[in-house]
Amino acid sequence: MCRWLGYSGGQVYLEDLLFKPVNNLIDQSLSSRSAETPTNGDGFGVGWYGTRERPGLFRSIRPAWNDFNLRDLAANIQSHLFLAHIRATSLATVQETNCHPFRYGNWLFVHNGEIFGVEKSRRDLLTAVEPKYFENIQGTTDSELMFHLALTFGLETDPPGALARMAGLIEQVSRSHGVEESLWMTLGLTDGSTFYGVRYASDGDAPTLFHSRDMEDLCAFNPALREHFGGAARVLVSEPVGRFQEMWSPVPPGSLVIIRGGEIEIRPFRPAPAPRDA
């Protein structure tokens, strides 16, 4: 089980959310309280939107807790929208190209969970990826594959639809390989302006996803930030971080979260049939 955090709001230093709060994500990488996998030491990554159109990306196979470069970068990089991920794996190799976020153009993508039986379905799913996106696949995770399937199914123009079709294809191909309930996931993704979160599992029992309740809660998370957050800051997390668990509202299973300009919308998420020829 991995963990991730996505932020959207006023411009802050990455460290304000990643390192400064008590019980922050990086501390959790070393010793967490609630997750089944107690350590997330198999690499990490952070992608952020700064002064350029394409987001920046820093990924490393070191445990996040002992990487001094991460500490320095988080102290110096400012962003209004970023995604951070800490990894725990027993499947795909620990290498930078398997660290989240994954990037295509101005899109970033993180994932927690897995495709059950992916060793059976992986080859079929890979061949469903459109050639122009296929070239962008650099690693061997099911997460990166999910991202490129969503791209194939129209992520850049219709994110909710593309995510539904991606989930539909994975369930369909997995069933054809005898895996009835294949998907178990939370997703975080963004094009640099709108921020999407998905919580879904084929069997209904999805991993957790939370959103910050309101600005006051975020200020409790790191009071120094009140002046920076702006009026519209929002955080999505795979598990609660910080000292106050009650600041986090659970996203219901089978949901798509859309955050835009501080507004948060939660819709049902259901897999959709994938296009015929995929």
Q: Which of 69, 176, 193, 245 binds a copy of itself (CB under 8 A)?
A: 69
Tokens of 172: 């369909």
Residues 148-167 that bind a copy of itself (CB under 8 A): none
Judged by CB under 8 A, the number of residues near a copy of itself is 48
- R_g (Cα) of the chain, nearest Å: 17
SS3 238: coil
> Does position 30 bind a copy of itself by CB under 8 A?
yes
Segment interacting with a copy of itself (CB under 8 A) among 134-142, 164-172, 194-202, 237-245: 134-142
Contact between 157 and 196 (Cβ < 8 Å): no
Contacts 24+ apart (CB under 8 A), 275-278: 275/153, 275/165, 278/128, 278/152, 278/153, 278/169
> Does position 52 bind a copy of itself by CB under 8 A?
yes
Q: Which of 22, 34, 105, 126 binds a copy of itself (CB under 8 A)?
A: 126
Segment interacting with a copy of itself (CB under 8 A) among 37-45, 204-212, 223-231, 251-259: 37-45
Integer Cα distance of 260 and 263 in angstroms: 5
Q: For residue 69, which of 134, 182, 129, 77 has the smallest C-alpha distance?
A: 77
> Does position 127 bind a copy of itself by CB under 8 A?
yes
Token pair 């807790």 is at which residue?
65
Tokens of 227: 């002046």
> Does position 78 bind a copy of itself by CB under 8 A?
yes
SS3 256: strand
Segment interacting with a copy of itself (CB under 8 A) among 116-124, 181-189, 245-253, 256-264: 116-124
CB hemisphere CA count around 17 (13 angstroms):
34
Which residues in this chain contact a copy of itself in the complex, by CB under 8 A?
30-31, 38-39, 41-42, 48, 50-52, 54, 56-63, 65-66, 68-69, 72-73, 75-78, 89, 93-97, 119, 122-123, 126-127, 129, 131, 134-135, 137-140
